[in-house]
């Protein structure tokens, strides 16, 4: 009786509404499957392709079914909205790769399967995530080493000798972008560091006159590690990743300390860095100039952004229809400019759908962070992941429509690119794991032996 009462008191987080988590997820996934299948049918009809080219849809359906059924066993109390949103976007992304860069669709389908597997593996980790928390320096240094390796061995899969070499190649078959992995590892590092040092950073403050400064001995290791990341990224001229890292850093600092002053100072620094970059680096100058006024150079330096704007304009409200527009005139449309292709072929309706999906995903991540407020590491990790996905989506979507200067990052889940897909799915795996703090996955091996590391409830 006592035990029942304890359950009634502490298990008060039970769903107050009649629909179970699994059935919500199933309904949403069914709608996402209808949407994705219709897109494939439309694409096949419009481009008069063979029906056998529908096989990536099969891969997507298998990935979706695997996600749903395995997660129902591993994490029965997970957030039910993450997987439908993510699968809808990645299915859309697969359609877009088949539409815009047909030779890459095999590669993207394989990456989707790998990313699904990685996400499930992460979701099956023990709920404490202690491996990530404890070895934060090791993880970050490993990521930094990989990134530093690109300085020496880096390649660009497009073969362009002047493009930034941000990838590590394996025999020219697989290309991996370490900055994507480093982004994830830096979020883990910052979450772990700030969760541990938050109190001491807040309570001991150095004063210089009227200015309150954070205590240097406690923030120095964090600034040092973060500085390494920034230096390497700027050295590589990977502006998108550098600005994203900066935004993530500011957001996590704010989330852990609640001091808006740090954010203001950071944004001023970002502005100064932008001014300095404009003077020193051609890339920055190019991006800012083509943002400010692309029209005089529409056929040369600003060709890409102008084509993107024309694509968005020709889409109108309802779009040209899948496979019926002409977005391939935009250079690298399948990766950075994928949002322009959506705007052209699915119109304003489709673009707003993408924005809504990514906004809800970010909100769910922040909600998971709030729900885990008692576990600072997990809370900060969820907040960092949410800000990372949200900021990355904003940077590229706003860049493509010329709202802000263009920064070359991918649109999470939608753009072509294996490293981006993999790291985004791993982030979602972590979010799912954090959203269900109670469940613990017991592997088959333990079960058949009848030995459990846990006392049986």
Partner 1 sequence: MSLDVVLLITRIAIALALYAFLGVLLALLWVDIRAASEYSGEKPYPQARLIVIDCEEVPLEPGQEYILEPLTTLGRGPTNTIILPDSFASTVHAHIILQKGQWWLEDRESRNGTTINGVPVTEPVVLSGGDVIGIGRVKLEFRAE
Kindly identify the residues of this chain, within the stretch 39-78, that bind partner 1 according to CB under 8 A: 39, 41-42, 45-46
Q: Give the dihedral sign, CA 15/17/22/28.
A: negative
Query: Does 12 interact with partner 1 (rule: CB under 8 A)?
Result: yes
Position among 56, 84, 315, 327 found at the interface with partner 1 (CB under 8 A): 84
Position among 11, 20, 38, 149 found at the interface with partner 1 (CB under 8 A): 38
Q: How far is CA 334 from CA 6, 50, 286, 309, in A?
A: 54, 22, 21, 16
The Cα–Cα gap between 3 and 19 comes to 26
Query: Does 24 interact with partner 1 (rule: CB under 8 A)?
Result: yes
Q: Give the dihedral sign, CA 239/245/249/251.
A: positive
Q: Which helix (H) or strand (E) holds 238?
A: none
Q: CA-based angle 300:345:335, to the nearest 5?
A: 55
Q: Give the dihedral sign, CA 317/321/324/329.
A: positive
Taking contact as CB under 8 A, which single stretch among the options 65-73, 130-138, 356-364, 427-435 is the one that binds partner 1?
356-364
- Tokens (6 digits) for 347: 């119109």
Taking contact as CB under 8 A, which single stretch among the options 271-279, 349-357, 412-420, 423-431 is the one that binds partner 1?
349-357
Query: Does 121 interact with partner 1 (rule: CB under 8 A)?
Result: no
Query: Does 444 interact with partner 1 (rule: CB under 8 A)?
Result: no
- Kindly tell me which of 34 and 275 has the beta carbon lying closer to partner 1: 34
Residue 259: how many other CB atoms lie within 10 Å: 16
Kindly identify the residues of this chain, within the stretch 328-347, that bind partner 1 according to CB under 8 A: 346
Helix, strand, coil percentages, rounded to 5, for the chain? 70, 5, 25
CA neighbours closer than 13 Å in the CB half-sphere of residue 332: 18
- Tokens (6 digits) for 75: 């994490």
**Least Å distance between CB 339 and partner 1?**
15
Size of the site for partner 1 (CB under 8 A): 42
- Kindly tell me which of 28 and 140 has the beta carbon lying closer to partner 1: 28
| Radius of gyration of the CA atoms of the chain, in A | 23
The Cα–Cα gap between 265 and 273 comes to 12
Taking contact as CB under 8 A, which single stretch among the options 13-21, 141-149, 295-303, 406-414 is the one that binds partner 1?
13-21
Report the SS3 class of residue 169: strand
**Least Å distance between CB 410 and partner 1?**
21
The Cα–Cα gap between 269 and 273 comes to 6
The Cα–Cα gap between 77 and 438 comes to 8
Q: Give the dihedral sign, CA 402/407/408/409.
A: negative
Query: Does 357 interact with partner 1 (rule: CB under 8 A)?
Result: yes
Report the SS3 class of residue 298: coil
Query: Does 5 interact with partner 1 (rule: CB under 8 A)?
Result: yes
- Tokens (6 digits) for 212: 């309150």
Query: Does 163 interact with partner 1 (rule: CB under 8 A)?
Result: no
Query: Does 128 interact with partner 1 (rule: CB under 8 A)?
Result: no
Angle between helix 178-203 and helix 418-435 axes, rounded to 10 deg: 40
Position among 93, 350, 384, 429 found at the interface with partner 1 (CB under 8 A): 350
**Least Å distance between CB 19 and partner 1?**
7
Query: Does 4 interact with partner 1 (rule: CB under 8 A)?
Result: yes
Position among 223, 275, 356, 370 found at the interface with partner 1 (CB under 8 A): 356
Taking contact as CB under 8 A, which single stretch among the options 55-63, 84-92, 182-190, 304-312 is the one that binds partner 1?
84-92
- Kindly tell me which of 9 and 152 has the beta carbon lying closer to partner 1: 9
Encoded one letter per residue, x for contact with partner 1 by CB under 8 A and - for no contact, window 292-331 reads --------------------------xx-xx-x-------
Alpha helix (H) ranges present in 293-417?
303-315, 338-345, 347-371, 376-400
- Kindly tell me which of 80 and 405 has the beta carbon lying closer to partner 1: 80
- Kindly tell me which of 32 and 395 has the beta carbon lying closer to partner 1: 32
Contact 412, 393 (CB under 8 A): yes
Query: Does 370 interact with partner 1 (rule: CB under 8 A)?
Result: no
Taking contact as CB under 8 A, which single stretch among the options 28-36, 65-73, 281-289, 414-422 is the one that binds partner 1?
28-36
Position among 20, 31, 58, 130 found at the interface with partner 1 (CB under 8 A): 31
Q: CA-based angle 57:63:64, to the nearest 5?
A: 90
**Least Å distance between CB 94 and partner 1?**
15
Residues in the chain: 457
Binding site for partner 1 (CB under 8 A): 1-2, 4-6, 8-9, 12, 15-17, 19, 24, 27-28, 31-32, 34-35, 38-39, 41-42, 45-46, 80-81, 84-85, 88, 318-319, 321-322, 324, 346, 349-350, 353, 356-357, 360
């Amino acid at each position: 009786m006592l035990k029942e009462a304890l359950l009634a008191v502490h298990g008060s987080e039970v769903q107050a509404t009649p629909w179970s988590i699994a059935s919500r997820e199933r309904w949403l996934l069914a709608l996402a499957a209808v949407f994705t299948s219709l897109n494939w049918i439309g694409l096949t009809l419009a481009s008069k392709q063979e029906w056998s080219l529908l096989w990536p849809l099969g891969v997507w359906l298998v990935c979706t079914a695997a996600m749903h059924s395995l997660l129902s066993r591993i994490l029965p109390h997970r957030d039910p909205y993450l997987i439908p949103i993510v699968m809808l976007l990645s299915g859309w992304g697969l359609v877009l790769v088949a539409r815009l860069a047909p030779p890459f669709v095999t590669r993207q389908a394989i990456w989707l399967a790998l990313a699904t597997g990685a996400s499930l593996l992460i979701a099956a980790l023990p709920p404490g995530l202690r491996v990530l928390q404890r070895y934060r320096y090791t993880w970050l240094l490993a990521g930094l080493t990989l990134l530093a390796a690109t300085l020496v061995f880096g390649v660009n899969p497009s073969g362009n000798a002047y493009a930034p070499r941000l990838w590590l190649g394996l025999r020219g078959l697989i290309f991996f972008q370490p900055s994507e992995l480093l982004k994830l590892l830096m979020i883990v590092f910052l979450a772990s560091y700030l969760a541990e040092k938050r109190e001491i950073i807040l309570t001991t403050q150095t004063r210089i006159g009227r200015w309150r400064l954070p205590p240097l001995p406690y923030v120095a290791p964090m600034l040092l590690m973060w500085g390494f990341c920034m230096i390497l990224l700027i050295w590589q001229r990977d502006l998108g990743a550098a600005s994203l890292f900066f935004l993530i850093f500011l957001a996590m600092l704010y989330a852990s300390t609640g001091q808006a002053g740090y954010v203001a100072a950071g944004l001023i620094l970002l502005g100064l860095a932008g001014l300095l970059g404009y003077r020193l680096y051609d890339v920055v100058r190019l991006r800012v100039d083509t943002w400010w006024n692309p029209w005089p150079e529409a056929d040369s330096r600003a060709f890409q952004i102008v084509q993107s704007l024309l694509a968005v304009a020709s889409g109108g409200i309802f779009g040209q229809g899948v496979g019926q527009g002409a977005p391939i005139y935009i250079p690298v449309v399948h990766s950075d400019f994928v949002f322009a292709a959506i705007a052209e072929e699915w119109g304003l309706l489709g673009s707003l759908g993408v924005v809504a999906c990514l906004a809800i995903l970010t909100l769910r991540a922040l909600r998971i962070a709030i729900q885990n407020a008692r576990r600072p590491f997990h809370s900060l990790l969820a907040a960092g992941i949410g800000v990372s996905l949200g900021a990355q989506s904003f940077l590229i979507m706003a860049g493509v429509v010329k709202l802000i200067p263009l920064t070359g990052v991918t649109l999470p889940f939608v753009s072509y690119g294996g490293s981006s897909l993999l790291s985004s799915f791993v982030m979602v795996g972590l979010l799912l794991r954090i959203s269900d703090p109670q469940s613990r996955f017991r592997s088959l091996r333990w079960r058949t032996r009848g030995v459990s590391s846990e006392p049986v409830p």
